[in-house]
Structure 1
Amino acid sequence: MLRVRTGLQSFAWNSIGAIIMLSFSAFIVLVITIMSMLLYDKFAQTAERSAELSTKQIVDQVSYNLEDYVRSMSHLYRAIEEHMLRDGTWEGEQVDKQLDTLLSSREDILSITLLDSDGRLLKNRPAAALKPSAHVTQQGWFQSALRVPDHLSFSLPHIQNMYEGPYRWVVSMSKGITVQRNGQEQQVILLVDINFKQMDELSRRVSLGQRGYVYIIDESAGNIVYHPQQQLMYMGLRSENIEQALVATGSYEDEADGQKRLNTVKSVPNIGWKIVGVAYLDEMLTTRQEVGGYMVRVLAVVLVLAVLVSLMLSASLTRPIRRMERKMKAVERGDFNVELPIEGPLEVERVSRRFNLMVHKVRTLMDEIIREQEQKRRLELEALQAQINPHFLYNTLNSVVRMVGMSRNEEVVTMITSLSRLFRISLSKGKTIITVKEELEHAHHYLTIQQMRFKRKFRFTLNADDDTLDCLTLKLLLQPLIENAIVHGIEYDMDEGHIEVRVYREADCLVYRITDNGVGMSEEQLRALAQGYPMARSGAGSGVAVRNVHDRIRLYYGHAYGLEYASELEEGTTVWIRIPVQRAPEEGGAQDDQKKTMA
């Protein structure tokens, strides 16, 4: 190891401090590069926001112009209604003069027409006969006026075809009006044809760069109302992304003919139109591109130097650190059988030694904890299982003595046989886990004994799905719950009791359902039972043994499993036991054990 001694201090060339000193100049270059990129990104974002705001302001101006124009046309309709159609009298020279004055003062209005609901001409200025081929009642503006009366409707641009004369592009505004004529209500249609050039002028007054433009679409049908290249649109030589503009709000970007565009959408109230402003990003961000090119050229040399220095540093510093990182991730995943090689810079060697020592100590402690936890868990399970009602044997033997004294020999044989099989399953050669079939057999013998003790005060049924019989379960889960159903539920009921045990699968859970028709429990007793507090005799499922069953299940299978209760006073109680579905590794061996138990 090469070391240089200066005064009282020792300096190692392979230390991290030396590496940091040698790479300080490269670090400066890196900082300058990062700062330049951040500034460039900030400038680009500011330029984009400015362009977006400018486009939005222009589109808002077009929208305001259209709204202002619509307001003026609404005032025009209101004036005609109030002064010319108020009394249902539209004949006479006075009305003609008023309409002629209106037409002469508004260059944008080409014609004013009044029709009845059957499409017959009532009044028009300039005065002209309707063309027989006009089919007025089939026109969209006519149907809109009848369908939505007292609402100003706007048509799409079209050729005026109602009168003889030059063909001009117009936008038809129509409104259904109810007037009083000769004491009766009459529905009339007021139609005003507007020169399409007015819409064109309102939209051409804006400027969105050299190639940007504004177009208008109909929100209801998605048709083009106005486009600066309207003829090309009708000929199919030009298209727009109408679908995206209909659903968009605010601004969005798209691409047309290989060029990115910024689209800004604005809805025009009371018309049902949308204004779409299209600006080309390459025009708006010319300054950004120029600055970007300049920065790239200036930083080219700096970046080359940074790359060279990074290659040099990766060989001496990055490799051992990354190796250490991989080992640490392995420890995070629980693999404590890892060891770092002692190599690399001086500080890395020291850290590697400390890391190896730490992993060794953690591994030793983990092994000790696992052994202690396994022993503790086994002792807790044995202690909980030992608490399952030991006085049951005493009560059963007392019943046998009484039956012998009463010469009820057949019942004595039945009870002793059930008792022997009950305890044979309870012992299970010291096993904690048995099959569902064995657990149900244990419950059957227990219920038989209790049924005889209580003089057949209740009846019982045991049902299990076929696919559950060979599943594994903790033993002695059913007995405490059945005992509670008898002692706290059915014993105090005057009617005949019924206990049903049902076993079935529910997704990945094995479910025991124990139901009785006893006295039931109140809501307070249910809450106390769920919180683990022992209760008085008046509630089903209130014993300490039931709590032990819940604790055994959670201790063995986890907190996701255990007991659930439902009860109503004078109706009965239902208890569900949920444990995970598990099967014996060797089905044949499990079945042999079951056969031996049943023998």
Structure 2
Amino acid sequence: MPAYSPFRNTIRNKLMLLLLLATILPIASSMVISYNSTKRSISDETIEKNARLLSLGTTNLLNYVNNINQKSLAVYNSINVPRSLYYILEHNMEDEVFPNDLSDVIANRNLLKDHLYNIYQSVSEFNQVRLHVVKQKVTYILKNDSIKLENDASLTFSGALTKTFIEPSHLGSTFGVVSMSAGTREMVFTLHRPIFRAPSDELMAELAIDVRLNVLKDLTRQLYDDGKEKFMIVDAKKNIVLSSDPDATGRLETASWLPFILSDNRKDAEGGHFAWSDGRFSGHVFYDRAVTPFMDWYLVKLTPDSHLYSAADGIARINVWVAAGFLTVAVAATLLVSLLFTKPLLRLIGYVNQIERGNLNVDIDIRSQDEIGVLARRFRSMMQTINNLILKEYRLELANKTNQLKALQAQVNPHFLYNSLQSVGTVALQHKDQQIYSLITSLGKMMRYSMNTDESVVTLDKELDYLSAYLDLQKQRFDASLEVELDVDPAARTLQVPKMILQPLAENFFKHGFVPAEGQPAWLSVACRLDADRLLIRIEDNGKGMEPEALEALNRSIEAGESPGAGPDGGGIGLANVISRLRLHFHEDASMKLSAREPNGLEIRLEIPLDKEETAHESSDH
């Protein structure tokens, strides 16, 4: 006989070991899997997010730089028109008719200053504009709304500029000319453009435009997390055009990851990312390329691993605390269960055996407040539920038969009423009572239209016929106290719209706004217009309108897609029903707006985008 082992033969110890293993292993595995999965998910999400951000930043940067380039091309505007900037440069600053008249030379120089001033003022970020006329050896410099003319032949200019290019960020200067205004020199980048005599390659002038960096900062401010990530714009020669570190702007970038971006096998890449680790940086490098004929810049973002995986580390810490809490609860629950579990469990097993033998009315007498007691009460409640369900099944079968009979009656009665109305109309016509026949015909149209459940989308023309029948009955009801106007664009009549959208809006007037008054009849106007890709429907009345607060609350409810509070007669539901069906059948941008009319009344304006009309057709077919 094997020796007795307390550890192997006590339920308490077995439960403790089992529950601890069942708790620790899943939680530990879940923590490891969750941490690795979170890291991968964050990494993938960050890569996708940064690709979008840098692509957007590149697009905005290219648009801005191309705009600056276009402003510099203003020198070529109207090249054959006298007094244009190009014309003045082409004629060496002298007037074509009176070349020896010094006053004309001065006049042309003043005119040239005006052209340069227009370029300077075209973009607010322009810090300084310089034009050097090669043959005249004259330099025009504009800065801070001041213009200066220099004839100093000692000024050094390249004189060999062959194409447009952007000089990377540097401290702004006056190109050798004494500054015209006091102040701190700013960091700028410079667009250099040669001006040739068309169609030759003779250089007539050199245009240089200094541009402040503030717009570049604004364009890239949202591309990185300041203080946690590093961002820079660097050109193909490793010059830093802009950096999140202000001290680095204008310097050469010496980081070891930069050659990897600029390497020949990556020159054609629009952008990308890679992991990098060295003594200076460990994390992910994201980059995108902004290239034009006069510029080759790279947008580079450095995201440290500590920032990239901070969320994953936080989740891991939370999981550790949660696991510790779960383990504490598991140990306590194991001890409690091991002490209180055995006796009530055996009693419960006895009751279950009775239920298994078919005694569904057994009285489960376990009144403890622990889990076994809860389980016992649930068993007792379950048996009562089973007995009740047996009775409900018979009642449900009887209710189904009753509902089938009601559905048959609901199908027969409307057709019977419609046919009866036709008979009454025929009798009215035989007695030459045209008014009664007209009213019965209108009522018959409404019944036939509402009974047709095969169509959920109809033409606007059918919807207008239904509305006209409804208004005919209302005009008979109110006689001369009601005037109705219909103004419908013929082109809109064939458009498909959801069924029953006009009548509820008109009915809203008769339920809530109609106030018959002596000397002033009630007035209702319905207008439908086709405006480009939208159907505009406007319903106006001269009723009592709504209080401003109630009107504003109703508009907010409609815009949010919520049903406004309904009154006892169902008012308020119709408007929400109309806009919800419009958004379902056509476009989520379909809108309804209610506004007050002067001096009194209400206007309901519907705007229905038609770009998903075919979708609506398909929905109606199904």
TM-score bracket, shorter-length normalisation: 0.3 to 0.5
Q: TM-score, normalised by structure 1?
A: 0.39
Q: TM-score, normalised by structure 2?
A: 0.38
Instruction: Return the index of the structure with the highest Cα Rg.
Output: 1
